[in-house]
Amino acid sequence: MAVEAATLYPVVTNTLPLHNFMLQDVLGSMVAVLAFAVVLYAPGYLLAYATDLFGFRQMGFIDRSLWAMACSFSVVPIAAYLVGRSAGLDSLCWLLAGSALGALLLLWHHRAAPAWSRRDRQITALLVCGWVAFVLLMLVDFQLGHRLYFSVAIADQSYRIAFTDAVVRTGVPPANPLYFAGSPAPMRYYYFWYVLCATVVKIAHVSARQSFIASSIWAGFGLMATVNLFTRHFFRWERKKRWIAMGLLLVTGADLIPALGNPVLQSSLNGDIEWWSVDPIDAWPDSLLWVPHHVAGVLCCLLAFLFLWRTLEPVSKRSRRWAMALAAVAFASGFGLSVYVAFGFALMMACWLVWLLLRKQPQRVELLRRTAAIGLLSAAMLFPFVRDLAGGSPHASTAPTGASPAPTLAIFPFSLSVRRMIDSGLVTRMPVFAAWNQSHPVLLDQTIRLLLLMPGLAMELGLYGAVLVLLLMARRRHAPLPHDPARDTALFFTLCGLGLTMFLSSSVITNNDFGYRAVMLPQFFLLLLTADVLGSWWIPGATPVVAVTAARRWLLSSLLMLGVAGSVYGALLLRAWLLIETPIIKNGFSQLPEDAFELRDALATLDRVAPRDAVFAFRPIDPEPNKGDAVMTANEFYYRTLVMDAGRQILNAEGKCAVHFGGDPARCAAIQSAIAQLYALPAPSAEWARNFCSRFGVQYLMIGHRDPNWNSTTGWPVALPDVAREPGFKIEQCAEITR
């Protein structure tokens, strides 16, 4: 595959002090935030204006902006894939730049003052600026001298950033940056979000890391816009209740209770408040920081449903047709952003349609027809992408922490299994269950999981779980809620989605990626139901959705305060984890800040001399089996940082070969064996290393103080020429570079 992009030197990097990586990333990310408006605002504005969607041209600025973002999130991911695949990233960037110019002209033409109150403007500005500052604080490395204190989120983001960089370098579909079997291999993964991030890299001349940080900010903007649209056009609430729904995005469950036991019961502090659970239900800020592409997939599926829902209203035939088309495009985008979320949404929609049929809903036949048409149109748009995903993707017995392999579509991707929120091993390993554990281990494990499911849900959902119980109690006691089709539908999706994600799990990878990601769909509707109940209690003159008692008010208020405290603790933990762990020598993290700086400094040096199509080799990530209490060890964080900052093709980034993202597995054994020999003691000669590089198409070798032969006094570590050297890390050239 030809390299599409030449060497990129971020503009921001060239204008700042050489070693001030924190300042570079803050300013570069802010530039990327502005550039994302070209990708996730302008195209949707043009489309909605051209089609006059739901009377778009007569709307005020706020409503137009909300629908512009909704249309952009729905359309741009699949459009970027199709355009990038057929015409290349440069053509895509020019197309987006043209749409931005058109949107600016239209905005200037409709430049009347926004029809919203001063207080709403102040709250919105506070939310936007606060969210930008929060993400930058959480994700940008904190620098003290020659030490970089990274966020725990790099455990996942390292892979996402490498994928984004691969799109910039190799186009669409990108090459798998983590495995190189002699030539680049197309990546089999749901990568639409990385295409959007790559366009921002090219438009704004920022780094892949800076673009990806900005993508978390824009995923948050998209979530706020989607909540606003649902409160306006699904529930049709007035402004106070809409603000309550927005505020609840910052409130987590009761995770603080089990999380506080971590410092007492474990020698190493968890880096995330959610890590007390095996299969957690992440709070919205946590999901946005760790997996913005999955959140974007959720938004696309939700917007597809909202477009379909609005076709039930008395709108023009033109708007109805465009809404159906946008629903189809949104689902296609959602599939390419997160396959697991799209599967979950499809299952929930199927259950919903059956529910409507059983209830003999008046518009059930029309909804079935429209849903079928939307599905067929989505399938047509997704055909080339699905063909790529299903094109002989090898099975993988394990999955990395940072990113799970795409599911193999040739087999059923789910299995029946009770969600393991509280670790069932805490009970099954007890002596009293020894006999049963020998004879029926699976039955025992599933039984204990089932018994622990409700306590785990209570901790994960907290306030939201209590509201759900109150709503169900109101129905069970024959005190029906005020009739509201939106509330009934939201309650159905909540119960259906929780049921699916509690008893279905991913079957093609070891971690339950389906459960992790698809649960955000019912989580969204449950947030709206919680805002509905709280708003009906707090807003003067509103009719209570469920009866108000002193005990219920005290319960929900206590859980609300617990959720706010949990969010604050989670943010502090995510940012301060490495600062807290570094002084504790026995936990093994004390060297990481210096390592992170040295890796990035060396790679920045290499950027000035090495082409972007060069291939690196290093001793791959090999998760350690005896971690003790730690979720990830120091070595794993070290190699994640290396993957994130490499910015080039890697020979093999994982101990078991990253073929699940694409590539020929037949050469894996030879690559593994050769790398093991390269980094063994005694160190092979420089000639042996050059033959290794020639054999596998490698130009640069990386070696650090964590490698076995770092202190070798003979062999290639001291004989090959250094390209970049730090006290504990260096990069050596082992082959001539052709330009």
In terms of domains, do 450 and 571 share one? yes
Over residues 173-183, the mean pLDDT reads: 91
**520, two tokens:** 């955000």
Residue among 724, 717, 732 at smallest CA distance from 600:
724
Q: Mean pLDDT score of the chain, rounded to an integer?
A: 87
- Is there a domain that residue 91 lies in? no
> Rounded to an integer, what distance in angstroms lies between the CA atom of residue 633 and that of residue 626?
9
Residue 716 has what pLDDT?
A: 93
Sequence-distant (≥ 6) Cβ neighbours of residue 567 within 8 angstroms: 250, 251, 252, 283, 285
- Is there a domain that residue 209 lies in? no
Residue 525 has pLDDT above 90, yes or no: yes
Q: Strand pairing partners for 398? A: none
- Is there a domain that residue 146 lies in? no
Name the strand (E) or helix (H) holding 477. none
Are the CB atoms for 198 and 215 separated by under 8 Å?
no
Residue among 33, 95, 300, 280 at smallest CA distance from 190:
300
Residue 506 has pLDDT above 60, yes or no: yes
Collapsed DSSP state (helix, strand, coil) of residue 725: strand
Total tally of structural domains belonging to the chain: 2
DSSP class of residue 112? P
pLDDT tens per residue, range 184-237: 888 888 899 999 999 999 999 999 999 999 999 999 999 999 999 999 999 989
Domain closes at, from 577, 596, 618: 577
- CA distances (Å), origin 186, targets 2, 179, 182: 12, 10, 13
> Rounded to an integer, what distance in angstroms lies between the CA atom of residue 313 and that of residue 236?
13
For the whole model, what pTM was predicted? Answer: 0.92
Over residues 281-296, the mean pLDDT reads: 95
Residue 5 has pLDDT above 80, yes or no: no
- Is there a domain that residue 351 lies in? no
In terms of domains, do 471 and 514 share one? yes
Residue 401 has what pLDDT?
A: 45
In terms of domains, do 425 and 540 share one? yes
In terms of domains, do 456 and 524 share one? yes
Are the CB atoms for 449 and 419 separated by under 8 Å?
yes
In terms of domains, do 597 and 705 share one? yes
In terms of domains, do 599 and 547 share one? no
The whole-angstrom distance between residue 393's C-alpha and the CA centroid of its chain comes to: 22
Range of the domain at 613: 587-733
- Is there a domain that residue 110 lies in? no
> Rounded to an integer, what distance in angstroms lies between the CA atom of residue 445 and that of residue 30?
48
- Is there a domain that residue 11 lies in? no
**629, two tokens:** 């209490």
Residue among 136, 56, 93 at smallest CA distance from 571:
136
Residue 441 has what pLDDT?
A: 85
Residue 400 has pLDDT above 80, yes or no: no
- Model confidence at 717, pLDDT cuts 50, 70, 90, reads very high
pLDDT tens per residue, range 635-676: 888 999 999 998 899 999 988 888 888 888 889 999 999 999
- The percentage of the chain sitting over the pLDDT mark of 70, rounded to a whole number, equals 90
**115, two tokens:** 């029809």
Residue 261 has what pLDDT?
A: 83
Residue 512 has what pLDDT?
A: 80
Over residues 123-146, the mean pLDDT reads: 92
Over residues 76-93, the mean pLDDT reads: 94
Asked if omega into 682 is within 30° of 0 (cis), the reply is yes
Residue 375 has what pLDDT?
A: 92
Domain closes at, from 542, 557, 577: 577
In terms of domains, do 509 and 638 share one? no
Over residues 676-703, the mean pLDDT reads: 93
Q: Give the least confident one: 292-306, 430-444, 549-563.
A: 430-444
- Model confidence at 301, pLDDT cuts 50, 70, 90, reads very high
In terms of domains, do 483 and 544 share one? yes
- The percentage of the chain sitting over the pLDDT mark of 90, rounded to a whole number, equals 60
Over residues 372-394, the mean pLDDT reads: 83
> Rounded to an integer, what distance in angstroms lies between the CA atom of residue 529 and that of residue 469?
11
pLDDT tens per residue, range 46-82: 999 999 999 999 988 889 999 999 999 999 999 999 9
User: How many other CB atoms are found less than 10 A from the CB of residue 105?
Assistant: 10
> Rounded to an integer, what distance in angstroms lies between the CA atom of residue 723 and that of residue 734?
10
Are the CB atoms for 253 and 260 separated by under 8 Å?
no
In terms of domains, do 441 and 533 share one? yes
Residue 4 has what pLDDT?
A: 37
Q: Strand pairing partners for 732? A: 701, 722
Residue 388 has what pLDDT?
A: 82
Residue 407 has pLDDT above 70, yes or no: no
Q: Give the least confident one: 254-263, 474-483, 609-618.
A: 474-483
- Is there a domain that residue 74 lies in? no
In terms of domains, do 422 and 546 share one? yes
Over residues 608-631, the mean pLDDT reads: 75
Position 597, amino acid: F
Domain closes at, from 544, 559, 577: 577
- Is there a domain that residue 160 lies in? no
Are the CB atoms for 184 and 176 separated by under 8 Å?
yes
Collapsed DSSP state (helix, strand, coil) of residue 362: coil
Give me the residue label for tokens 């929120």.
421
In terms of domains, do 515 and 441 share one? yes
Top pLDDT among 414 and 177 is at 177
Residue 114 has what pLDDT?
A: 63
In terms of domains, do 436 and 571 share one? yes
Residue 144, φ and ψ in degrees, nearest 5: -130, 105
